[in-house]
């Protein structure tokens, strides 16, 4: 329903969401669609009256835009956007965040960016975090919030080694 409604709008915004989809369920559905590349968060253009899905950490209103993959998923061939103002908003909404030096987040990112990477055990020793907390940190803070790609590979001597690839 969300993709179909967005495909019928000239600005391709996927808002408002269906009234039956609220709270945590709405977040789960939208986040899954964003993760699959069917929707993308863009800066809401308040001058055009864009509906706001959520606010970024910097207080910027964000809207949801159907992507070409989203259109393809529902069997619609992508056409150019009609609004010039909307074309300028197609840049991803997430900006490079500043990482404060001296924090555990900076420590872990530094460990993951080393050529040899880091294991869960090494990170746990450096941060005093439990292994499940580290895995959650990878998925939430690093992948979702910061957009870092975390790769892993099996090492004969160290076990599973994780590296940040960007």
Question: Could you tell me if 40 and 11 lie in one domain?
Answer: yes
Q: In the listed set 29, 57, 87, which residue is the last one of a domain according to the structure?
A: 87
CA within 13 Å, CB half, 106:
7
- Indicate whether 82 and 117 sit together in one domain: no
Number of folded domains that form the chain: 2
Domain boundaries, position 144: 104-164
Same domain, 80 and 120: no
Out of 34, 59, 87, pick the residue that ends a domain.
87
Q: Let me know if residue 93 belongs to a domain.
A: no
Are residues 83 and 108 both part of a single domain?
no
Hey, what are 94's tokens?
């997430």
Does the residue 97 lie in any domain? no
Q: Are 3 and 55 in contact, with CB atoms under 8 Å apart?
A: no
For every one of its 166 residues, what pLDDT tens digit does the chain have, with 9 covering 90 and above?
888 888 888 888 888 888 888 888 888 999 999 999 999 999 988 777 888 888 888 888 899 999 988 888 888 876 655 544 444 444 343 334 567 778 898 899 999 999 999 999 999 999 999 999 999 999 888 887 788 889 999 999 999 999 987 6
CATH number reported for the structural domain that contains residue 117 in this entry:
1.10.10
* Partners of 55 in the β-ladder: 61
- pTM score: 0.47
Shared-domain flag, residues 76 and 13: yes
């Amino acid at each position: 329903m969300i993709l179909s409604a967005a495909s019928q709008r000239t600005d391709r915004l996927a808002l408002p969401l269906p009234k039956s989809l609220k709270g945590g369920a709405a977040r789960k559905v939208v986040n899954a669609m964003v993760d699959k590349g069917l929707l993308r968060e863009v800066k809401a253009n308040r001058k055009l009256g864009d509906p706001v899905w959520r606010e970024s950490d910097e207080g910027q209103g964000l809207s949801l835009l159907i992507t070409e993959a989203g259109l393809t998923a529902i069997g619609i061939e992508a056409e150019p956007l009609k609004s010039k103002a909307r074309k300028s908003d197609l840049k991803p909404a997430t900006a490079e965040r500043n990482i404060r030096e001296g924090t555990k987040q900076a420590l872990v990112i530094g460990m993951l960016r080393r050529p040899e990477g880091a294991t869960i055990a090494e990170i746990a020793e450096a941060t005093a975090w439990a292994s499940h907390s580290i895995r959650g940190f990878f998925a939430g803070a690093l992948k979702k919030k910061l957009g870092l790609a975390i790769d892993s590979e099996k090492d004969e001597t160290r076990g599973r080694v994780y590296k940040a690839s960007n």
